[in-house]
Amino acid sequence: MITSVRLAHLLLKECIHNGDIMIDATAGNGHDTLFLSDCVGDAGTVIAIDIQAEAINATRQVMEIHQRSNALYILGDHAAMNDTLKEYEGNIAGITFNLGYLPGAIDHTIITKSSSTISGLNACLTLLHEQGCISVIAYRGHDHGLEEAHAVEQWMHALPSQEWHVVSISAINQSSTSPVVYFARKKSLRPQ
Ligand code: SAM
């Protein structure tokens, strides 16, 4: 079966080019950062953000094992991306969020939360360039996961249709708590 991570990667691949700057807003164990690093190539950059030092260390390690040197690492809250990444305003090709807690961590209380996720999504609006994209994987099966997915869905729903393409993808014959992928891409300003 195709996983939600694979689905998000397929959609992202459509809008990433060699030399792009991408943000992994939830670096975790570094799998998404590594994927983005391959997509942008040596001429591009991935900015990997996580609120936990354990995750930033794990991501750095995965990148080192794969001999990738095109990432910047930020230990911090993606809710503050507008401030920490001010110099990149309007220059980012895409931003990914893989919500929830750090897989393999002992402490599952450090988890994405609706309020900071929505602040992070709001920051995307100024960071992204024309035709930039946002992907969010939301896990609805854990405490507050459903509430967080609803908040993301409402946020995505409110994006103006003249300016954005927005889709959500989830399995329709599985439990209603299975993961959902949200994907939004800014429309081109040039007449097609
Ligand atoms: N993308 C990761 C990978 O490929 O392994 C998986 C991400 S994991 C499901 C979610 C991550 O979000 C955790 O590492 C957690 O520490 C991080 N996180 C939670 N709240 C955050 C926040 N406000 N800002 C940045 N990272 C956050």
Ligand 1 within 6 A of CB of 31: yes
pLDDT score for 192: 60
Q: How many CB atoms lie within 10 A of CB 191?
A: 4
- Sequence-ordered list of residues with C-beta below 8 angstroms from that of 77, at least 6 positions apart, any chain: 51, 116
Regions in the chain scoring below 50 on pLDDT: none
Ligand 1 within 6 A of CB of 54: no
Closest CA to 130 of 157, 90, 160: 90
SS3 state of residue 34: helix
Specify the residue with its C-alpha closest to ligand 1, atom 19. 112
Token pair in block for residue 64: 């080192």
CA of 144 to the centre of ligand 1 (A): 15
Strand-pair partners of 98: 137
Ligand 1 within 6 A of CB of 28: yes
Q: Strand 45-50 vs strand 71-75: parallel, antiparallel, or unpaired?
A: parallel
DSSP 104-160: T-S-TTSB--HHHHHHHHHHHHHHEEEEEEEEEEE--SSTTHHHHHHHHHHHHHTS-
Question: What single-letter DSSP state applies at residue 44?
Answer: S
pLDDT score for 191: 64
pTM over 0.85: yes
Ligand 1 pocket test: which of 31, 50, 83, 108 has the largest number of ligand atoms within 8 Å of its C-beta?
A: 50
Ligand 1 within 6 A of CB of 52: yes
pLDDT score for 190: 74
Specify the residue with its C-alpha closest to ligand 1, atom 23. 77
pLDDT score for 66: 98
Q: How far apart are the first and last CA of the chain?
A: 36
